[in-house]
Amino acid sequence: MKNDISTTLFKEAKNIIPGGVNSPVRAFRNVDGDPFFVDKAKGCRITDVDGNEMIDYVGTWGPAILGHAPESVINAVGDAAKNGVSFGIPNPFEVDMARLIVDWVPSVEKVRMVSSGTEATMSAVRLARGYTGRDKVIKFEGCYHGHVDSLLVAAGSGALTHGKPDSAGIPDAFAAETIILPYNDLGRVEEVFAKMGEQIAAVIVESYPANAGLIFPREGYLQGLRDLTTEHGSVFIFDEVMTGFRVAKGGVQELEGITPDLTAMGKVIGGGLPVGAFGGKAEIMDYLAPDGPVYQAGTLSGNPLAMAAGMAQLREMERIGGYAKLEVLGARLEAGIRGILKQKGLPYQLNRVGSMFCLFFTEEEIVNLDSVMTADTAKFKKFFTSMLKQGIYMAPSPYETGFISAAHGNEDIDQTLNAMDQAFSEI
């Protein structure tokens, strides 16, 4: 691959942007390389500034469920922009988006738009504390809920990638209000509730943790969390920023039949523009200002461009039967990978749901962060490098989930599998 222009840009960027990037995982530190700079993207392919074209399985880290620059989204954004890009005043798109979310997500009776997934989880936790009058929050190792001070403890995503699951700059007093437990161990949660249930405002969980690879709950685990929070009067928060509108119209809660009290959302509902949302029971949501005592605000919340883009994307997914198509593509990729692994006698683990997948270079069953951390990062680096050289872009971290889009086709999947066959031979 040519990388002359990208190399020059990155050298300049490091002089004027911390680390040369505006989000840490983009730095390629975990694969011992330097990032490339994208010039354009269309469908399932991206082209960098040096003219290298790649099949993309990062998809803007999840939002690009239709692929890049889908015509329906581009047209919707263009039409909305003609009337103004932001007002700071209510606009009709906000009502349309809220109505769609309430219709699609089983647990949501009322919803408020924000501008990022981090803002959504932060606001949901604040609301839970305000509603219950309690301070303690339970979260789980490897679950990443954005860079919220009290939640960036034993986190996943970029925090794991750079070997610092806890961040500097977070006061001990903030972290002290967060109880960290291993994912998939219901007994530990029961113990904590038995000792201090009256102090716990909320349990927040990535229902399918997707920032430490991709982890699935054991049978009964999510229902057990639901039962415990109900019994002790705590708020049960699903973080569906990654999985919402991605694994199904109604997210994991639709697939698992679980009804949380609050849900944090983002990514897909912005059509590639900055967006987030949180919603749930009307009784709880009504604690938000201006009706209630919990303050939350945002200048660009519900801005017409993001709302128009998100609405266009979701409606197009519905029109084309997108979730069924993504399941077919995901199953084709999964079957191909498992076939290669079996043929080569490799013991690696693969987790997939719909259009989300992650390959772990370990023999261990993936059930929590400890099992994720047994993966061989050296082998991952070789795998990533080989795939990139062959024109396949995977996330530059062993702790990130891959995404298929509706713009991928059978030929793209087959080309990817051929590249994987070669990559596995090299490691």
For the stretch 368-411, pLDDT in tens is 999 999 999 999 999 999 999 999 999 999 999 999 999 999 99
Structure tokens at 373: 């951390």
301-326 pLDDT tens trace: 999 999 999 999 999 999 999 999 99
Which among 267, 323, 348, 379 is annotated as catalytic? 267
Whole-model pTM: value is 0.94
The pLDDT > 90 percentage for the chain reads: 89
Boundary residue ending a domain (253, 283, 318): 318
Residue 124 and residue 219 share a domain: yes
CB-based contact 226:258 (threshold 8 Å): yes
Residues 168 and 194 in one domain: yes
- CA 216/CA 31 separation, integer angstroms: 26
Q: Is residue 356 scored above 70 in pLDDT?
A: yes
The single residue of 144, 183, 323, 348 carrying the catalytic annotation is 144
**CA–CA distance, 326 with 227 (Å, rounded to integer):** 32
Identify the domain boundary among 318, 344, 370.
318
Same domain, 301 and 381: no
Task: Provide the number of structural domains found in the chain.
Answer: 2
Residue 284: how many CB atoms within 10 A of its CB? 22
User: What average pLDDT does range 145-157 have in this prediction?
Assistant: 69
Q: What is the CATH classification number for the domain harbouring 403? A: 3.90.1150.10
314 with 330, same domain: the answer is no
Strand order in the sheet with 276-280: 110-114, 276-280, 262-266, 235-239, 200-206, 136-140, 178-181
Domain boundary, last residue among 284, 318, 352: 318
Same domain, 225 and 312: yes
Whether 11 sits among the annotated catalytic residues: the reply is no
User: Mean per-residue pLDDT for 179-198?
Assistant: 95
Chain-centre distance of CA 413, in angstroms? 22
Secondary structure class of 203 (helix, strand, coil): strand
Whether residues 239 and 385 fall in one domain: no
Reply yes or no on whether 82 is catalytic: no
Rounded distance, CA 352 to CA 331, Å?
Answer: 8
Handedness of CA 118, 64, 334, 394 (dihedral sign): negative
The whole-angstrom separation of Cα 207 and Cα 243 is 8
> 171: helix, coil or strand?
coil
Residues 330 and 311 in one domain: no
Q: What pLDDT digit, counting tens, does each position of 4-51 carry?
A: 999 999 999 999 999 999 998 898 988 989 999 999 999 999 999 999
SS3 261: coil
The answer to whether residues 198 and 88 belong to one domain is yes
Is residue 156 within 8 Å of 211, Cβ to Cβ? yes
Asked whether residue 171 falls in the same domain as residue 314, the answer is yes
Whether residue 165 is predicted with pLDDT greater than 60 in this model: the reply is no
Taking Cα atoms as reference points, which of 394, 331, 332 lies closest to residue 361?
394
- CATH number, domain of 215, equals 3.40.640.10
Catalytic residue of the set 136, 139, 183, 239: 239
In terms of domains, do 163 and 272 share one? Answer: yes
Q: Do 138 and 34 reside in the same domain of the chain?
A: no
Domain of 361, in residue numbers: 4-69+321-426
In the sheet that holds 356-360, the strands lie side by side as 349-353, 356-360, 402-403
Mean pLDDT estimate for the chain = 94
- Report the percentage of the chain scoring pLDDT > 70: 96
Is residue 158 within 8 A of residue 25, CB to CB? The reply is yes
283 and 167 in a common domain: yes
Based on the residue annotation, tell me whether 325 is a catalytic residue of this protein: no
